[in-house]
Amino acid sequence: MSRPQIPLEQIRAQVQACKKCPLADGRTQTVFGVGDPQARVLIVGEAPGKNEDLQGEPFVGAAGKYLNELLSYAGLKREDVFIANVLKCRPPGNRDPRPEEIQLCADYLREQTRTIDPEWIVTLGNFATKFILRTDVGITRLHGTLQQAGRFKVFPVFHPAAALYDGKKREALTNDFVILGQLLQAPKQEQQ
Ligand code: URA
Ligand code: SF4
């Protein structure tokens, strides 16, 4: 590794002070991420919603409760993983992230990823998946397939919020998290 890792608390302070994009104006607070700083699995979502903006923690609303359930299908607890978003501030009315916002904010996710140095990255939905895999292929095609980005194993799944009221996506998410649990249990040499 060429550059030294930046301590997570230092990245957190940078995020807290960030005014690089206009989303800074509308936020209650930044949402840095939460979990085990040495997690084997990094979960990447899209952007904070209303509850996340108010509480300063990712995935605390309905989608968060559902994410906790999904993690259990993979044999994981929320405390075992690290959860972060592509954007650290809430877009107004939960609109989609804009390309320029992603470009400006992504440095933080990049540094978080370097510091945590997970073995696995689980991308939730199109924005996280397209960003991490640098692909234009949609989540409908990629979900539940093992991908690679640099030294990271990447496992894209549907965004839990998109599946809350969509039975087909819920079924796919259940299956995908069961598969993730199996992949996580496979002996290391078989994964190489
Ligand atoms: N959706 C996301 O993508 N991230 C959150 O933190 C909450 C909802
Ligand atoms: Fe900074 Fe990211 Fe928040 Fe924009 S969304 S102000 S780049 S932390």
Whether pLDDT at 192 is above 80: no
Atom of ligand 2 nearest to the CA of 104: 7
Q: Is the CB of 89 under 6 A from ligand 2?
A: yes
* Number of neighbouring beta carbons within 10 Å of residue 22: 14
pLDDT tens digits, one per residue of 33-76: 999 999 999 999 999 999 999 999 999 999 999 999 999 999 99
Residues in contact with ligand 1 (CB, 6 Å cut-off) = 45-49, 52, 58-59, 63, 85, 161
Q: What are the backbone angles phi and psi of residue 100, rounded to the nearest 5°?
A: -70, -30
Query: What ligand is nearest to the CA atom of residue 51?
Result: 1
187: confidence class by pLDDT, cuts 50, 70, 90:
confident
Is the Cα dihedral 132, 122, 62, 167 positive or negative?
Answer: positive
Of 74, 81, 66, 78, the residue nearest 180 (C-alpha):
74
Give residue 189's pLDDT: 53
In tens, the pLDDT along 81-119 reads: 999 999 999 999 999 999 999 999 999 999 999 999 999
In this structure, which ligand is nearest to the CA of 21?
A: 2
* CB atoms closer than 10 angstroms to residue 119: 14
1 has a pLDDT exceeding 90: no
Q: What is the pTM of this model?
A: 0.96
